[in-house]
Structure 1
């Protein structure tokens, strides 16, 4: 199995486009901290992006895309001397699906948001930097803009199952952004996402995801990766930040949490499916990872 596919499926990623924005002249628009994970694509012109709490601004040009993974206010601007205006009223006054700022239309961008299930922060978002920038010259950018064009066309024409098509295309956009991040982060980042870019660690991750209920040993994973036991253990911890079997415990707990949310399976059945020999063994691991017993977690996740 592909670990990235597994995690995106588990966190229930969905996405949508919001109103596009046009601007010109000297302008600055201040956005509140987004509820979801914000993304934008610059279609025309240029501007700068400044995240709240950051001293530096990121220059953006036509073709560039970015993903904001933290709930932090941010500002888009053409002129650092321009007084920022709140984005809320501008987008409420949007006409024809286009919000406008400044004077003119030499700048245009389209954006939206991704939304995830409750465990997304732990599983995916904490492994990402606050800002993922995909330059227009990157190979992934062409696919991003193609997907945005397709989503826009589907929603404007209101074809059969347009909403479903738009959701799947939004997921394509997210995957392309993550691919770009992984390609650029090789050797400099940690976490399971970074592990996907390491040829040794990636093999071990795929094995663990393919058979999470198997009673793995580090020696067995090392054989699959064609390295020594000590090499795999050291490399996995250095890249992922956890030992291989610690990662396996956390992944089994995530799989159990998913079943507790979605099914009426007994704890004994869930324990068997995710690789624990007893309900009590699952309960101990589950509480250590989530802070809740499986029964308490199910009550919280599925209120009557």
Structure 2
């Protein structure tokens, strides 16, 4: 999404205010069949005991895999994709062939002389993944806000950024020195820079990202309303219900949305639902009907009409075009 003054200049400025810290913490070499279960807080506690918010990312360096959170929906990612789980949590990651989940275990506890490598699977086609974490106090990563989906997959467009990311991935996969015993190396800027590029791509398609969306997450009137819509997009929200839940009048809520986000509350809700639907259509195998119900539409027909208005094609055609 672009603003009148160029490609997301305001978005770039607001992203620069986000402070991130983190590290690449292991490499994984999987062979089909594989499914592992991860409890990432254990890793975060070992590496950064003071981190109370965890952002996970997995870079697919080769092959293909899926990731699923508590809802069980599988989001697929291929070579060059970056999987982001902005609020941490338990998850499953697997390949094409079914396999019983196995708890992920690092070879040795930190600190490490070298970046550890996890090898798991049944000996089939190989998938290489670089796994890392970051943490941030920014409201964008506040689990109560749910400003982002619990998991999303991003492919950086061709250009200098994607070339730089690919080169950085190659380095991370091959490098065994310097040692992870060094705090300066452990706090490498690679995860921070990578996630910022991924966020820039993902947020450029968010509703009103160039009109103060990140600022709205900190607004005392808008933040509670956004948290409700983000947390329960399937609910049939009305302006009256949102205003009552945020303890303001309907006119105050509507005025604040229009001042900061340049659209009405219901218009924002429609755009948010379409964004979530687009993610689900692009990265999962849910049917159109299932996607419709997850984003608040009682019928597939109503959802298809709304999606076509917003995206220019019915959901099934849009999904086909995405490959």
TM-score, length-normalised on structure 1? 0.53
Structure with max Cα Rg: 1
Measured in 1, the distance between the counterparts of 2:201 and 2:144 equals 15
Post-superposition shift, 1:165? 9.2
Question: Structure 1 stretches of 5 or more lacking a match?
Answer: 206-229, 242-304
The residue number in structure 2 matching 1:49 is 67
Post-superposition shift, 1:44? 1.2
**Alignment RMSD, CA only?**
4.2
Q: Secondary structure at the match of 2:149?
A: coil
The residue number in structure 1 matching 2:128 is 108
Contact 1:61 / 1:136 at 8 angstroms: preserved in 2? no
Question: Mapping of 1:183-194 within 5 angstroms?
Answer: 183-185=204-206, 189=207, 194=208
Measured in 2, the distance between the counterparts of 1:158 and 1:113 equals 18
Post-superposition shift, 1:143? 3.4
The residue number in structure 2 matching 1:3 is 14
Contact 1:63 / 1:137 at 8 angstroms: preserved in 2? no
Contact 2:64 / 2:95 at 8 angstroms: preserved in 1? yes
Deviations 1:134-188 (A, max 9, x none): 12656554433333345567762459x9826963232211110111112232xxx
The residue number in structure 1 matching 2:86 is 69
Higher relative contact order (CA 8 A, sep 6+): 2
Which of 82, 85, 90 in structure 1 is aligned with 2:99? 82
Which of 47, 50, 57 in structure 2 is aligned with 1:39? 57
Question: Mapping of 1:90-129 within 5 angstroms?
Answer: 97-104=116-123, 106-117=126-137, 121-122=141-142, 126-129=146-149
Post-superposition shift, 1:124? 11
Question: Mapping of 1:73-222 within 5 angstroms?
Answer: 73-79=90-96, 81-88=98-105, 97-104=116-123, 106-117=126-137, 121-122=141-142, 126-135=146-155, 140-150=161-171, 156-157=177-178, 163=184, 167-185=188-206, 189=207, 194-196=208-210, 198=211, 201=212
Q: Secondary structure at the match of 1:170?
A: helix
Q: Say how many residue pairs are matched.
A: 202
Aligned CA distance change for structure 1 residues 28 and 152 (closer, same or farther; 3 Å): closer
Measured in 1, the distance between the counterparts of 2:131 and 2:169 equals 9
The residue number in structure 1 matching 2:31 is 24
Alignment pair present for 1:236 and 2:260: yes
The residue number in structure 2 matching 1:258 is none
Measured in 1, the distance between the counterparts of 2:156 and 2:199 equals 15
Alignment pair present for 1:15 and 2:39: no
Contact 1:45 / 1:62 at 8 angstroms: preserved in 2? yes
Q: Secondary structure at the match of 2:37?
A: strand
TM-score, length-normalised on structure 2? 0.50
Deviations 1:40-63 (A, max 9, x none): 111111121112223x21122111
Post-superposition shift, 1:106? 1.5
Measured in 2, the distance between the counterparts of 1:71 and 1:239 equals 31
Deviations 1:203-259 (A, max 9, x none): x96xxxxxxxxxxxxxxxxxxxxxxxx999625245697xxxxxxxxxxxxxxxxxx
Contact 1:75 / 1:84 at 8 angstroms: preserved in 2? yes
